[in-house]
Structures are given as C-alpha cells and as structure tokens.
Amino acid sequence: MSCKHIVIVDDDPTILELLRRFLSGPEYRISVARRASVARSMLLRDHVDLVLTDARLPGENGIELTRAAEELGIPALIMSGDEEWALSQGADATKLLLKPFGLIQAEQRILAALNA
C-alpha cells in the first residue's frame, strides 16, 4: 500500500497527538487540524485520502466537514461520544467511530475506509 494522507480533526489536542503518534509511520502521512475550516483548506490544497474528524467542533461541525470531503470524493470517519446527537445531525451510522475507542479499532476502521 502506498503512503496514504489522513487528515485528523479534533479540538482536543490530546486526542490529536495520540492519533497522530499511533498512526505515524511509513503507511500514513498525518496532518492535524483543530478546526474544520483549517481541514477544509487542506482538502482543497493537498491530496487527501481520508478525513477522521470529531463530530463536535467549534464553528463548522465534523459532520458538515465529512459531507464536504465526500463531495470531493474523499472518504471520512466521524468520532463521537454521543451517537444519538451525531445521528440527529445527519451522520451516517456506518461512518461513526464511537468514543471511547481503542487505537487498534480505529486503525481497523481507517483501513476499511481506505480500501472501500
């Protein structure tokens, strides 16, 4: 598998750093953003293979960001600790990664999304 570019979006710097460190390696190029607006500019500027975003972000929420990514042909996963809220906002249940989740579980979902 060639190096895949993943954009991780979360307003919690601890989660961003944990995921960045876990996924860093020859398989993935990781970019991080704390706001959807920053991630949107990455989507337009860079080749991105996957967006992994928190559902609740300041300003534009992650669900809106996933719609924008998918309009560009970029798959996306949504992290949320509140499944009911995410679904009420229009999140696709098949793209939800419910918090708390294990890092291995996250990587399995990422691999599945990249290979879909």
* DSSP letter for each residue of 17-65: HHHHHHH-BTTEEEEEESSHHHHHHHHHHS--SEEEEES--SSS-HHHH
User: What domains does the chain contain, in order, with CATH numbers?
Assistant: 4-114 (3.40.50.2300)
Q: Tokens at residue 105, please? A: 């579980």
Q: Per DSSP, what are the bridge partners of residue 8?
A: 32, 52
| Tens of pLDDT, residues 7-34 | 999 999 999 999 999 999 999 999 999 9
Alpha helices in 33-101 (DSSP H): 36-45, 62-71, 83-88
Could you read off the pLDDT of 65-114 as tens digits, one per residue?
Answer: 999 999 999 999 999 999 999 999 999 999 999 999 999 999 999 999 99
* Confidence tier at 4 by pLDDT (50, 70, 90): very high
pLDDT tops 90 at residue 2: no
pLDDT recorded at residue 1: 55
Give the model confidence (pLDDT) of 25-77 as tens digits: 999 999 999 999 999 999 999 999 999 999 999 999 999 999 999 999 999 99
Angle (deg, nearest 10), helices 36-45 and 62-71:
10
Quick check: pTM over 0.85? yes
